Amino acid sequence: MLTASADGMTREQVTAKLKEVLIEELNLEDKTPVDIDQAAPLFGEGLGLDSLDALQLAMAIEEQFGVRVPEGDEARPIFASVDSLSAYIIDHS
């Protein structure tokens, strides 16, 4: 029942959409897409996200891009930054 896919999207388009997903899903009301440094760490420092956010993002990425992100230790490098997430989405679309 997937409604979306990243097929045919450029890396820039994926990154731009991903930033919107981040802001919307994690209620980053004080942020706009330009505020998000796509190379910066998402967790701990940077945006200061935690594992509850990671679960929310994983769900939203599947919904918006049709890509399932693995859980647990495998997910750590994927969730490192917006760039690493974009790369994973493009590779798995």
Partner 1 sequence: MAGGACDDHASAGPAETVIWVTGIGVVSPLGVGAELTFDRLVRGDGAVGELQLFEPADCRSRLAAEVRELDVAQVAPPEQLDTWSRTDAMAVMAAREALLQAHLTPDASEGSAVDLIVGGSTAGMFETEKLLAEMSKNPDSIEPLKRMLSHPLSATADRMLDTFGLLRDARTVCSACSSGANALILGASRLLSGRSSCVLAGGADGLCRLTYVGFNALAALSPAPCRPFSTSRSGLTLGEGAAFLVLETEAHARERGVEALAEFRGWAVGSEAHHITHPEPTGETASRVMASALAMAELEPTQVGYLNAHGTATPLNDAMEIAAIKRCFGPAAPRLMVSSSKGQIGHTLAAAGAMEAAISVMVVQHGRVPPTVGLGEIDDACAGVDHVTDGRRQDVAAAMSTSFGFGGSDTALLFSRPGAFENKSGFVRRRVFVTAAATLGAEGICGAEDAGRHVRGGDPESVAKRIEFKAADYLDLKRARRLDRPARMVTAVVEHGLAQSGCPASRLADAGAIVAAAYGSVDACANYVQRFTDRGARFASPAVFPNLLPSSPVAHASVYLGLGGPVFASADVGATAEGAMVAAVELLEVGQGRIIAAGGVEEASDIIDRALGPLCTGHVGRGPRSEGAAVLVFEAEVGDGDVMSRAIAEVVWSDAWRDRCDWLGLPAPVGRSGVFVATDVPALGTMLTGSGWAKVSRYSVSGRVGHHECAGGFASAAAVSLLAAGKLDMAFVIGLAPVRQRALVLRACPHGAKP
Bridge partners (DSSP) of residue 43 are: 49
> Which residue's CB is nearer to partner 1, number 11 or number 68?
68
Considering only residues 26-85, where is the footprint of partner 1 by CB under 8 A?
Answer: 26-30, 50-53, 55-56, 59, 62-63, 71
Bridge partners (DSSP) of residue 49 are: 43
Considering only residues 8-27, where is the footprint of partner 1 by CB under 8 A?
Answer: 25-27
Yes or no: say if 18 and 28 are a contact pair by the CB < 8 Å rule: no
5: contact with partner 1 by CB under 8 A: no
Number of H helices, E strands in the chain: 4, 0
Return residues touching partner 1 (CB under 8 A): 1, 25-30, 50-53, 55-56, 59, 62-63, 71
